[in-house]
Amino acid sequence: MRLASLACALMLASYTERATADEVIVVDRVVAVVDDPTAPRGGATTLFLSDVRARAKPIVARMVPKPDRAQLEMLYRELTRALVNEVIVAREASALGLAVSEAEIDRGIDAIAAHEQTTRAALLGAVVNQLGMTQLDYREEVRRRILDEKWTQERVVPRVARPAGARDDDPRFTQAIGVERLRVLDKLKERYFVMVLL
């Protein structure tokens, strides 16, 4: 069953729509597949170019000047790898029983608004008007950030030695956490089947 789903994903990678006799426009294509062979029932997650473009949209909206084709392709490659990491973190967090409630998302949005020294309404308005995201998309983004933070606190932070006298926001400590996070993810990827096509 898993092989069939991967074969289907690869067929979708070449799915196109013919615009004219001489021109072919790519409608969507597979950019990555993440599969957990230990999952009891079909653990494959397929990531599409449309997923990457949707995630890039608010980033591109803030870029000045607008990125050229080469910069955009580099951004898409970086985001594809970030999305692969997100899939793995989400699965690992679920296995640990970690989840994010709607109340936590609300508190997260309020914290971001406070940090930006604005109101919640103004923040959400800017998200829609300036970044081109819907409020639901933004809530999902905040949910992902919170889940990642919970997983990092559970799986990564205990592995990092805090420098003497360092606070949580000490650059030496946060940098060490970032390095260890990548090391943990690389180790986890050894257990997963990861195919990146972008």
How do 16-18 and 45-48 pair as beta strands?
Answer: unpaired
Residue 45, strand partner residues = 34
Interval 57-114: pLDDT, tens: 999 999 999 999 999 999 999 999 999 999 999 999 999 999 999 999 999 999 999 9
| The two three-digit tokens of residue 1, written as one number | 């069953």
pLDDT recorded at residue 160: 95
Mean pLDDT of the chain: 88
Q: What single letter denotes the amino acid at residue 122?
A: A
A 10 A CB-CB count for 30 gives 23
> What's residue 5's pLDDT?
54
The answer as to whether 18 is a domain residue is no
Q: Is the per-residue pLDDT at 40 higher than 80?
A: no
- Position 197 in a domain: no
Q: Determine, yes or no, domain membership for 95.
A: yes
Report cis status (omega within 30 of 0) of the bond before 65: yes
Tell whether 30 is covered by a domain: no
DSSP per-residue codes, the chain: -HHHHHHHHHHHTT-EEE-SSS-EEE---EEEEEE-TT-SS---EEEEHHHHHHHHHHHHHH-SSPP-HHHHHHHHHHHHHHHHHHHHHHHHHHHTT----HHHHHHHHHHHHHHTTS-HHHHHHHHHHHH---HHHHHHHHHHHHHHHHHHHHHTGGGSPPPTT--TT-HHHHHHHHHHHHHHHHHHHTTSEEEE--
Residue 71 lies in a domain: yes
Residue 10 within a domain: no
Structure confidence by residue, pLDDT tens digits, 119-150: 999 999 999 999 889 999 999 999 999 999 99
CATH of the domain at 116: 1.10.4030.10
State the total domains in the chain.
1
Residue 32: pLDDT over 70: yes
Residue 185 pLDDT > 50: yes
Q: Which domain holds residue 113?
A: 49-191
